[in-house]
Amino acid sequence: MKTFDVIIVGGGVVGCMTARALSRFNLKTLLIEKEEDIGMGASSANSAIIHAGHDPVPGTLKAEMNRLANPMWDALSDELGIPFKRTGAYVVAMGADELGCLDPLEVRGRVNGIRIERIGREEMLKREPLINPMVSGALFTPTAGMVDPFAACLAPLENAVLNGVELMTDTSFTGFIMEGGKLTSIRTSRGEFGCRWVVNAAGTYSDDIMHLAGDGLDFEIHPRKGEYYILDKTEIQLNNILFPVPTGTSKGILVLGSTHGNALIGPNSMNEADKENSAVTRTGLEEIWNSAAKLVPSITARSIIAVFSGLRATGNAACRDKQVDYGHDFVIEPSAHLPGVIHLAGIESPGLTAAPAIAERVVDLMKDAGEKLTEKKDWNPIRKPRPRFNHLTRAEQVALVAKDDRYGRIVCRCEMITEGEIVAEIHSPVPAHTYDGIKRRTWLGTGRCLGSFDMPRVVSILSRELGIPVTEVTKKGRGSEFLLRSTKEVEEK
């Protein structure tokens, strides 16, 4: 049995940030992820916002983690090459009736220690010309920003891997193994692994792992689906984050820009019983479109290029076995029944923002439990991003092609993604072995044609670089193969 000091269960942003935080120390660490690739859940299906922290209820872990993590993102972006823009965000009121709704939000933001400014109607119209002329005022939180959410998973995990952390994808956690009430190892779909610590960062399945440890027997994750539109960057340009006045269950349906240049609309908030059902719905899409049009009336259906949805890991309120009312807050705590297990559960919004602070809290919890953590003398905090051809100057492009002519072959014409970039991602520290894996890393296939032109080329490149038949190349893992056989191949009867 292979043995580790720490095993992290879950390759979303919280798990990946935790892997990087632990990579600073002389620990043998493994991260396991049940999917074919990391970041395939809520971590890459969200609003891509680094929240300022005006929304969480004061005194909650959500508020504390948001406040601590927000200022960490500048250094993370610099060290890891994560696309990040600190644009600020607006909570926008429409008409006289909504203007008063800004008052309690402003008070809450100030109690949470957040910089917050009141903006009048005329000033808001100057800052965002596309805003509905019915705007009556807004709150501006200057420390909010936009981030590439998948890069926020990939970059810290690549840095962790380069610093010695091991990664196993397509590996499901199935149970704890104990001797005398003490954690000794875990069971997975790929065998047993010894460990002294387990960090439960399993997203929508974090409650199941809590229950296996004997914790939170009344705590359950009840996912809430959020649906989105992506708009063509050639049709509409937005550099702002626009929130409506929030509802009782969500921050409301946003209209915002992104680090990729596309405008994004969403999300709604719908109860979802199936933890695997991320399909969009007609009624949901109609809801978010109609709501978004109240903020930005000029959006048109012709600008839509894609839709998607994600599942928030929303926890229920009560956990009777500990006499605790979590109140839909984050759960960041050691197991009450199985020493060596740390639960990170109910990590919904602002979980993306809070992830680096949650990771540091894991380190603190391990120290509090008596773990002697010694820092590596050779730990390197830097992860150098790979070249993005369409982000380079003409001179830089020429120089890159001179070094490697694969960067001179355009595969995705909409986004100007080259063969060199695709090959680099296939052989990176956290490699892409599927079409969607390359898409998340490069933004390939996200333009108007949605991969119609690049897909055959990418399948061929994956086949060549991985040394597998084209019939084994998949979109997102086993069961999503693109091809069955050659066109003119005749089946034998």
The predicted pLDDT at position 248 comes to: 63
Q: What is the mean pLDDT of residues 101-126?
A: 96
Residues of the chain above pLDDT 90, percent? 90
Residue that is written with structure tokens 């193994």 in the block: 177
Is 32 in the same domain as 12? yes
- Contact in structure between 199 and 7 (CB atoms under 8 Å): yes
Is 51 considered catalytic here?
Answer: yes
Is 398 in the same domain as 255? no
CATH, residue 427: 1.10.10.1100
DSSP symbols for 189-215: TTEEEE-SEEEE--GGGHHHHHHHTT-
Identify the sign of the CA torsion 387, 13, 309, 276. Answer: positive
Is 278 in the same domain as 238? yes
Is 132 in the same domain as 175? no
- Contact in structure between 38 and 430 (CB atoms under 8 Å): yes
Is 407 in the same domain as 466? yes
> Quick check: helix, strand or coil at residue 75?
helix
**Kind and range of the H or E run holding 397:** helix 394-403
Is 449 in the same domain as 395? yes
Rounded to the nearest 10°, the torsion over CA 440, 84, 143, 295 is -50
Is 351 in the same domain as 397? no
Does some domain include residue 487? no
Is 229 in the same domain as 258? yes
Distance CA 351, CA 51 (A): 10
The predicted pLDDT at position 460 comes to: 97
The predicted pLDDT at position 324 comes to: 47
Reported as a single tens digit per residue, the pLDDT across 277-328 is 999 999 999 999 999 999 999 999 999 999 999 999 999 854 434 444 445 8
Does some domain include residue 12? yes
Does some domain include residue 56? no
Our count of domains for the chain comes to: 3
Residues of the chain above pLDDT 70, percent? 96
Does some domain include residue 71? no
Is 34 in the same domain as 173? yes
Does some domain include residue 106? yes
Reported as a single tens digit per residue, the pLDDT across 84-110 is 999 999 999 999 999 999 999 999 999
Range with the poorest average pLDDT among 328-337, 415-424, 427-436, 483-492: 483-492
Distance CA 49, CA 47 (A): 6
Closest CA to 15 of 351, 491, 461: 351
> DSSP character for 389?
G
Does some domain include residue 480? no
**What are the backbone angles phi and psi of residue 126, rounded to the nearest 5°?**
-70, -40
Host domain of residue 159: 2-43+150-221+315-368
Residue that is written with structure tokens 């297990």 in the block: 341
Reported as a single tens digit per residue, the pLDDT across 189-203 is 999 999 999 999 999
Question: How would you write 433-445 as a 3-class SS string?
Answer: CCHHHHHHHHCCC
Q: What is the mean pLDDT of residues 18-32?
A: 98
Q: What is the mean pLDDT of residues 241-254?
A: 83
- Could you count the other beta carbons within 10 Å of the beta carbon of residue 302? 9
Task: Flag whether pLDDT at 5 surpasses 90.
Answer: yes
Does some domain include residue 265? yes
CATH, residue 268: 3.30.9.10
Q: What is the mean pLDDT of residues 134-159?
A: 98
Task: Flag whether pLDDT at 111 surpasses 90.
Answer: yes
The predicted pLDDT at position 491 comes to: 64
Distance CA 387, CA 480 (A): 29
Closest CA to 143 of 72, 89, 206: 89
The predicted pLDDT at position 247 comes to: 67
Is 457 in the same domain as 393? yes
Task: Flag whether pLDDT at 130 surpasses 90.
Answer: yes
Does some domain include residue 407? yes
Confidence of residue 63 (pLDDT cuts 50, 70, 90): very high
The predicted pLDDT at position 487 comes to: 79
Task: Flag whether pLDDT at 466 surpasses 60.
Answer: yes
Q: What pTM value is reported for the model?
A: 0.95
Q: What is the mean pLDDT of the chain?
A: 94
CATH, residue 25: 3.50.50.60
Exactly one of 51, 54, 343, 433 is catalytic; which is it?
Answer: 51
Distance CA 378, CA 375 (A): 9
Is 196 in the same domain as 330? yes
Is 211 in the same domain as 325? yes
